[in-house]
Amino acid sequence: MRNASLLSALGLLLAAGSAQAETVRLTVTVQNLAPANGIAFAPLHVGFGAGSFDAFNLGAAATAPIISVAEGGAGGAWQAAFAAAEPDAVRGTIGGLLLSGASAQMSFLVDSASQGFFTFASMVVPSNDFFIGNDDPREYALFDANGALQINQITLRANEIWDAGSEVFDPTAAAFVGDNGLRTDQNSVVAFNFAELAAFNGLLTGAGYNFQSGLGADSEVYRISFTAQPVPEPASIAMLLAGLGVVGASLKRRRG
């Protein structure tokens, strides 16, 4: 009976440590769902924060952060602006050039209480200035009030592809099929646009295949999946170790 009581107490310590943990190891998997020989995606820029970094807005002129993603995919200004707006956010870049059918994965340590809003952006190629991303910085609240993951997957369709309106449409100056250094400013506004991708059909891409869009408005093009594992806080670990010590000492006395 005494052993059973000790094991029960240990179980309560384990449960308490898990319940108190706010830090989670969040694994993010991205997949290109577009048809074969279709669009590819530049590395995905991601951030987990308080939901205050707003990179762009529908109907407004694109600013430097989102232009740095949409024109060339590098995203340096996006990352810098996110860091300035939310110094405590967790940020990163997932994968490289993601061709049709490919996937990439990365894990992050995230505080579910203070870093629960997910923001992302990636260039669509070939294009002059097309991208995927979330207009509303508070659209994706990954965790509920108890710290449990409440969004397991985000699936984007072709009609959710954005046009930054910052660069004139020109296949000869488009990334992945032309010379992106020849781009010309457009000075328009952010809008939805996937139909222009068909104008690249037949062009040879940088990956060596002849491009075919193959997209309809409802075609699935990109998926972001999440899994989370709790990471005990140091205080919880200390309490657990202390509990193990008590159990060990009690068992030793019984054997003695």
Q: pLDDT category, 20, cuts 50, 70, 90?
A: very low
Residue 140: pLDDT over 60: yes
Contacts of 164 (CB under 8 A, 6+ apart): 56, 62, 66, 67, 70, 71, 129, 130, 131, 190
Select from 43, 225, 58 the least CA-distant residue to 142: 225
Q: Residue 181: pLDDT band by 50, 70, 90 thresholds?
A: confident
Residue 6: its pLDDT value, please? 46
Q: What is the pLDDT of residues 105-118, one digit of tens each?
A: 999 999 999 999 99
Whether 190 shows a pLDDT value over 60: the answer reads: yes
Lowest mean pLDDT among 195-199, 203-207, 244-248: 244-248
pLDDT at position 121 is: 98
Distance, CA of 147 to CA of 144 (rounded, Å)? 5
- Calculate mean pLDDT across residues 133-155: 97
